Amino acid sequence: MRLPELLKLTEGRLLVDAKEDVFMDRAYAADLLSDVLALTDEQTTLITGTTSPQVIRVAEILNIVAIIFVRGKQPSDAVLEYALRLGIPIITTKKAMFEICGLMYENGVKPCKDRPMPEKKPSV
Amino acid sequence: MQGSAYAREEALCIEFDVRAGDVEHGGMASSQIKAALKQFGLSEPVARRAGIIAFEGEMNLIVYSDSGGTIRVCVDSEYIEITVQDFGPGIEDVDLALTPGYSTAPAWATDLGFGAGMGLHNMEKNADRFEIHSRLDEGTTISCWVKRRTDDSS
Ligand SMILES: Nc1ncnc2c1ncn2[C@@H]1O[C@H](COP(=O)(O)OP(=O)(O)OP(=O)(O)O)[C@@H](O)[C@H]1O
Ligand SMILES: [Mg+2]
C-alpha cells in the first residue's frame, strides 16, 4: 500500500511527507514503546496513539517506514520536524486503532513478523 | 546532546550523561549512538540492536534514577559493549524486574508510552551477553555485549 491509498482509506491527513516513495506491506499497532521495540522485523509501519517525543526516536532506531497516529492525535511540531529530517512520513487519522488495523489488513497489509534472535552464549 | 569520545585500551568509546526526568531529550543519546555505530561501519541490524539496548537503558535512567546516569558504548574488534549506570535507587528484586510485564512506571511515564515492563527484557534479548548488578541505595549497572558480526546477516 502506498501513501495516497492509505490517506484515502483512512480519511487521514499527511503531516509529514516521505522523502522517497514508501511502500507499506506490514504493520504493527501499539501504544507502549517497549512493545514496539520488541519487534525485530524491519520496514514496518507503526500505528499508535502515543505522541511523546520518544515515538520518533523509536521509529529511527527501528527504521520504521511510516507512522500513523490514530484517534486524531498529533505530535508536537518538534517531533514533526525531526520526522521531516529523517524522511519518515507522518499520517494522522480520526479513526481508532482497531478500525485502521482492519482497513489496512483488508487491503493487503500484513502483520510484521517476529524474527528469532541469534543464539546466546551462556553468561560469563 | 553532546557525547564525549575517547580511546580505551583496544576500544573506541563514546559516553553520554542522561538526566533524571529529562523526557524532552529522552532517546537522543540512543539515536546518536546508533548513528555513530553506523558511521563506524557496523551493519544496520547490529546498530539497531545496540540502539534498542541503549534506548531502553536511557529511558530507565530518565524514569527511575534518582540523579541520572551514564551510557557508555565501546567498540573493540569483536564486540560493542553498552554500559548503563546509575547511583540509585537500585532494584530490590532483579529477577522480578527482568520479568516481562513487571513495571513500576509512574503515571507520567505511562502517558508517554512507557511501562510495558519490557525494557530490561528487550535489552537482554538483543544482547549476546547481558549482565545486571543492582543494590538498593547504591545503584544499577547493566552491561550488554553485541557481537559486531552476526551469522544471521539479514
Ligand atoms: N535503573 C533503574 N533503577 C531502578 N529501578 C529500575 C531501573 N531500571 C528498571 N527498574 C525497575 O525495573 C522495572 C522493569 O523495568 P523495564 O525497563 O523492564 O520495564 P519498564 O521501564 O517498567 O517499562 P518499559 O521499559 O517496557 O517501558 C521498572 O518498572 C522499575 O521498577
Ligand atoms: Mg524501561
Interatomic CA distance for residues B14 and A53, integer angstroms: 23
- Of residues B52, B113, B152, nearest to A118 (C-beta): B152
- Positive/negative CA dihedral, A97, A102, A108, A113: positive
Interatomic CA distance for residues A83 and B104, integer angstroms: 30
Average pLDDT value for residue range B7-35: 94
- Residues A26 and A109: beta-carbon distance below 8 Å: yes
Identify the residue among B128, B132, B153 best suited for mutation to test binding to A, counting A beta carbons within 10 A and taking the highest: B128
Closest CA to ligand 1's atom 11: B97
Q: Is the pLDDT reported for residue A118 higher than 60?
A: no
**What's residue A112's pLDDT?**
86
pLDDT digits (tens, 9 = 90+) for B49-82: 999 999 999 999 999 999 999 999 999 999 999 9
Q: Which architecture, in CATH terms, is B4-147?
A: 2-Layer Sandwich (3.30)
**What's residue B152's pLDDT?**
52
Q: What is the mean pLDDT of chain A?
A: 91
CA of B150 to the centre of ligand 1 (A): 28
Residue B16: strand pairing partners: B71
Question: How far is A108 from chain B, CA to nearest CA, in Å?
Answer: 24
Q: What CATH number labels A3-111?
A: 3.40.1390.20
- Residues B116 and B63: beta-carbon distance below 8 Å: no
- Residues B58 and B18: beta-carbon distance below 8 Å: yes
Q: What residue type is assigned to position B146 of the chain?
A: V
ipTM summary value:
0.90
Indicate the pLDDT class of residue A115, thresholds 50, 70 and 90. Answer: low
Where is B13: in which H helix or E strand?
strand B11-18
Q: Is the pLDDT reported for residue B45 higher than 70?
A: yes
Least confident of B30-34, B81-85, B131-135, B146-150: B146-150
- Nearest to B124, CA basis, from B153, B150, B145: B145
Q: What residue type is assigned to position B68 of the chain?
A: G
pLDDT digits (tens, 9 = 90+) for B81-123: 999 999 999 999 999 999 999 999 999 999 999 999 999 999 9
Domain spans in chain B, listed from the N-terminal domain onward: 4-147
